[in-house]
Amino acid sequence: MQSASDLRVKIFADGADKAGMLEMYKNPIIKGFTTNPTLVRKAGVRDYEAFAKDVLEAIPDRPISFEVIADDFSEMEEQAHIIGSWGRNVFVKIPIMNTECASSVELVRRLAHDGIKVNVTALMTLNQVDEVAQALEGGADACVSVFAGRIADTGRDPVPLMEQAVKILRDIPNAELIWASPRELLNIFHAEKVGCHIITATNDILKKLTLLGKDLHDYSLETVVMFYNDAIASGFNISHRAVAFGMSAI
């Protein structure tokens, strides 16, 4: 099995807890960071702009994505220019559509050709990938985030779709494909195999990198020990009573 340092796919940490982000920043395997409003809210952030600038001061040299928080496209555009001004390593997340199902592709086109580095997010179909690829062509550096994990949640295998997405973006050198919302560490190797440029993962998944190549017999023993120790620590008890199968105890 490959070690994490040998992977071609770049691993980005997905989260908005500053302490967790700084922990991952110490790891040279982590090549960038992504956030979203849900993760920022979960982290208890009250001031979005202050949080972003604080993080950027601590992490000035790896790409970080921050998302617009508007639903109207003109407001999204204004916010994108503001967010993009926060740092040279900033990518502005633009959702593929707004809450009324209106496509953001034309906004993406304008921003990309205005020099704003965008991360187009929440894509789940190849048609969306194709439209975004055309919009990004010839523009600033960009990312295309396909939510492979959410696709898998619907019972669909995301691997064939991601393989096709790689092909669509092959001739768009300024755009990188992100395997977003992975559900397990194995997805990193799925992304590697199909040729994704980037995979995002939460700290919970990334901490499992220490398990790569672990001896499965040893892991089996560790699991048994864990179950036993937890049973003892919980004070569980099974009483000793004489029981005859098929009849009452004598």
**Structural contact between residues 221 and 34, judged by C-beta atoms closer than 8 angstroms:** no
Q: Annotated catalytic residue: which of 31, 93, 167, 207?
A: 93
Taking Cα atoms as reference points, which of 37, 9, 18 lies closest to residue 186?
9
What value does the CA radius of gyration of the chain take, rounded to a whole number of Å?
A: 23
How are beta strands 90-95 and 118-123 bridged, if at all? parallel
Q: Hey, which bits of 52-164 come out as E strands?
A: 64-67, 90-95, 118-123, 142-146
**Structural contact between residues 210 and 232, judged by C-beta atoms closer than 8 angstroms:** no
What is the 3-state composition of the chain as percent helix, strand, coil, each rounded to the nearest 5? Answer: 45, 20, 35
> Is 93 designated active site?
yes
Question: Active-site residue numbers?
Answer: 93
